[in-house]
């Protein structure tokens, strides 16, 4: 399956780890290619601002990794949203993962060398990529903390990791919220992602007349191929349509 070309009627929603960036052994070890922030800045200008990063990473980490690029974004799977005008919409801190759960996870990680706990403002992720044999232990613990019918929190599976996150937020929720406002409103969304949490974003994009692209199926599982597709699209946009001529009915 070849990735589709995109044009000035589209909006891009891009996951981060595993989509724009190669998966690293630990969250802190991720490497950002030096040409990625300028590429995103170029696309942001060519698409009138209709580029959003939608990820499980917290908002502050998104900005640190992609600096100096800043855009609309959804952090922690939609728990925090930033709109094009800089407005932040965030679920209340009272809805964050209880401190007792965080302490239980930290204590377990101390007993299980190689298991890493990634604290987030609202949620918490547990990574066992360095010790995959601990996966069953991690899942038993998080299931004991968060039963399947918990009203406020859910377990979010990821690549050799699991996150405790808000049941009220998802990447689909983030796409819906961002698409309701300029500069996304009226465009055809394309969501690109690689993981379970991205499926809700892809489905929201399809429901809004756009597309959802899985990295494994469309890009051979290779974030470098995603970046090359974005670069090719930026080149085509820059050479075919004047930046001052956005499509009718789409906010610049």
Question: What digits encode the pLDDT tens for the residues 202-232?
Answer: 999 999 999 999 999 999 999 999 999 999 9
152 band by pLDDT with thresholds 50, 70 and 90: confident
**14 plus 108 within the same structural domain:** no
Q: Does residue 86 belong to any structural domain of this protein?
A: yes
Q: Are 196 and 158 in contact (CB under 8 A)?
A: yes
| Distance (Å) of CA 118 to CA 111, 129, 177 | 16, 13, 26
Q: Are residues 85 and 173 in the same domain?
A: yes
Is 247 contained in some domain?
no
Instruction: Give a yes or no: residue 249 inside a domain.
Output: no
88 forms beta bridges with: 82
Q: Are residues 178 and 120 in the same domain?
A: no
Structure confidence by residue, pLDDT tens digits, 51-83: 999 999 999 999 999 999 999 999 999 999 999
- The DSSP string of 59-124 is HHHHHHHHTT---EEEEGGGTEEE-TTS-EEE--GGGSPPHHHHHHHHHHHHHSTT-EEEE-SS-E
From 166, 189, 204, the end of a domain falls on: 166
Q: Which domain holds residue 49?
A: 10-91+169-240
- Tell me the catalytic residues: 15
Asked if residue 244 has pLDDT above 70, the reply is no
87 and 101, same domain (yes or no):
no
pTM to 2 decimal places: 0.87
Coil, strand or helix at 147: coil
Q: Which pLDDT does position 121 carry in this prediction?
A: 87
Dihedrals phi, psi of 43, to nearest 5 degrees:
-60, -40
Average pLDDT of the chain? 91
């Amino acid at each position: 399956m070849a990735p589709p070309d995109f044009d000035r009627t589209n909006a891009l929603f891009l996951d981060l780890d595993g989509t724009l960036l190669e998966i690293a052994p630990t969250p802190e070890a991720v490497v950002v290619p030096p040409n990625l922030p300028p590429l995103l800045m170029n696309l942001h200008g060519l698409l009138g601002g209709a580029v959003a990063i939608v990820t499980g990473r917290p908002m502050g980490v998104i900005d640190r990794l992609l600096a100096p690029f800043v855009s609309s974004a959804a952090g922690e799977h939609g728990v925090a949203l930033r709109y094009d005008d800089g407005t932040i919409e965030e679920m209340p801190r009272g809805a964050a993962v209880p401190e007792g759960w965080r302490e239980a996870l930290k204590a377990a990680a101390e007993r299980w060398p190689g298991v890493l706990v990634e604290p987030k403002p609202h949620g918490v992720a547990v990574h066992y990529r360095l010790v995959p044999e601990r996966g069953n232990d991690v899942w038993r613990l998080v299931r004991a903390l968060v039963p399947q019918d918990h009203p406020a929190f859910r377990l979010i599976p990821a690549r050799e990791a699991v996150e405790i996150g808000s049941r009220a937020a998802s990447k689909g929720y983030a796409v819906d919220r961002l698409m309701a406002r300029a500069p996304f409103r009226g465009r055809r969304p394309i969501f690109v992602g690689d993981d379970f949490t991205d499926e809700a974003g892809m489905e929201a994009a399809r429901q809004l007349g756009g597309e959802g692209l899985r990295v494994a199926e469309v890009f051979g599982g290779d974030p470098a191929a995603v970046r090359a597709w974005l670069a090719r699209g930026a080149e085509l946009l820059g050479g075919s349509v004047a930046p001052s001529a956005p499509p009718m009915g789409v906010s610049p």
